[in-house]
Amino acid sequence: MATCLRYPGKVVIVTGGTGGIGLASVREFVRQGAKVVFCSQACGAERGQAIQRELQDSGCPGEAFYQVCDVTNEADIQRLILVTIERYGCLDCLVNTAADGETGTIDDVTAEDFRNHMEINVVSCLLTSKYALPYLRETRGNIINIGSLRAVIGGKNVLSYASSKGAVIAMTKALAIDESKYGVRVNCLSPGNIWIPLWEKYASQSPDPEATIREAECHQLLGRIGTAEEAALGVLYLAADGTFCTGFNLVISGGAEVGFGTKEVMDPQPGKSAAIFSRRTDFCRLDSSHSSGRCPGPTWRSETLNQLWNADSSSSRALARQRTTSPSILRDTDLANHMLRAAATFLQNQLDFGPWEAAARLTADMAAGLRYSGKVAVVTGGTSGIGLAIVKEFVLQGARVVFCAPGSEEERGRAIQKELQDSGSPGKGYFLVCDVRNEVDIKALILATIECYGRLDCLVNNAGGHPPDQTIDDVSAQEFRSLMDLNVVSCFLASKFALPYLRETRGNIINIASLVGSIGQKYAVPYVATKGAVTAMTKAMAIDESKYGVRVNSISPGNIWTPLWENLASQTANLDAAIQEGSNAQLLGRFGTSAEVAAAALYLAADGTFCTGIDLVLSGGAELGYAKKNLADPSLACEG
């Protein structure tokens, strides 16, 4: 369905597009209706042309066009941009994935080696951005640079690589500031351990590759290496849905940077079949006769799905390492991948129907463009603002959503439930009264959800409040405790009572925090403290729950136009001035919308499967660069 495509008709350039994250991004964009020009060095031309033919034959709604381009050659980069404009007439998105990752200590790396890293990983980003920006400014498009977790937390024997990726992340923020006046967004995606050719090369150079892989798996809270497809979904989010993100670094790391030391690997629950996880994208190898990149034949359907049907916690890893005659890799481009996902869904969720039926249902949902079909979510504070937008987005994507508000909002909640029922959306909305400051109410909310739907996949802790401006001198201890109960203790209790069910489904929690919990805010000490607590709680809980396969993330919105913001503005002396000041705080020069926050929540719930313990900042770039912050009254300055 054309209306379900997330990037239809957009024109995208992807450098380094014949392998790893670049190739996965090319495929994802083409699936979503984009026209993609992708490139590699001349040595990859044969592979690039084969990928172009594969995508042309796949029936995907987008287009792919391969070009040879050495990103260390300025003339090649100029030509790549011009060819794109000549062919498609515009440019909406540039994805800089081309990179090199040689390893070594400072003693082993020469100055020339270091310069080469900077040339490939940094200068190429600068030049592609420079020549693409005249066209991106016309479309108010966006740039996505691929950084690295190593640049954020460091890494052993990757000095030059980490330095170059640190430059990429910093360049992203600086360019976001400069280009905001043109409406161009610039963001970065920093993967952790992702199974790509670059990572495989790194592992193969170690004395014991298998030991290197096992060690790497233990670095993530989620106990596995991520896939290029998971990174590509992050790229798609930033391009298509992250319209209030600029200067943001989206970390996709499996929680590797959260907490101290080696992580506790996720354990299968006793009596439950483990979900199929893959440290590689080729977790199921097929005979070459059944791996053409299109719909699998009957033999594959019966044999492979039967293996998946019978897989348990001990055999699923063996299946991941299975070798067959003339093995070739089944890629995530077609119905075959949907079948694998369906079978994995069966194993993960203990469905009461076989994997072939699961495959048929899941494939139908994918054909309809549904991203969270059949999932069960609880959303607190779901009758207005961000909470209501999340409820509507989840229902639109096929989820069954229980949402709540205090008794004073009951009439409105019932009206929203009826509106959702009458809308024809594929999901369902069900309203319940719940005061999140009341432990008994929260217990009842979770139990009612389980009684109604039998499971829980996602909890969104959105309920909260923001008091009017006040200095610390005006805040009583009781007022602070009440705000903590509403904004923090409610998250704690809802998570506590939801987790027994989320562990069964390997579900996820999304806490709504705030940008000001990280950067502060004037006259809001109590509120800022509560939101800082939510962000910290998110990271701590992500560590504790990773062994159950439960992901815990937060979203920190900046200035989002909601009833809460409008109410606060109305209490100021000059409403219009307050609104103008709020708009001017963002690089993008506007407020964000609740729908943009809802898109982020959907990403974390449905697509961000290698994200845990992250804080997704939606701020329009408000926290970037220097700004006027000296609020001192000049009359108070000391004389002399």
Show which residues are catalytic. Answer: 527
d(CA 243, CA 89): 23
Cα–Cα distances in angstroms (integers) from residue 22 to residues 144, 201, 216, 231, 331, in the given order: 11, 16, 22, 9, 14
Distance CA 149, CA 199 (A): 13
- Residue where the block lists tokens 């957009």: 10
Residues 613, 542 contacting (CB under 8 angstroms): yes
What lies within 8 Å, CB to CB, of 604 at 6+ separation is 508, 510, 551, 553, 555, 611, 616
475 phi-psi bin (left φ>0, alpha ψ -120 to 50, beta other): beta
Q: Collapsing DSSP states into helix, strand and coil, what is residue 226?
A: strand
Helical pair 594-602 and 385-396, crossing angle rounded to 10 deg: 50
Return the ∠ at Cα 366 (arms to 547 and 387), rounded to 5°. Answer: 65
Cα–Cα dist 201/212, whole Å: 12
What are the E-state strand segments in 507-628? 508-512, 551-557, 615-618
Give the H or E element holding residue 372: none
CA triplet 338, 340, 345: central angle to 5 degrees?
Answer: 95
* Cβ-contact 120, 98 below 8 angstroms: yes
Name residue 220's amino acid.
Q
Give CA–CA dist 622/640, Å, rounded. Answer: 37
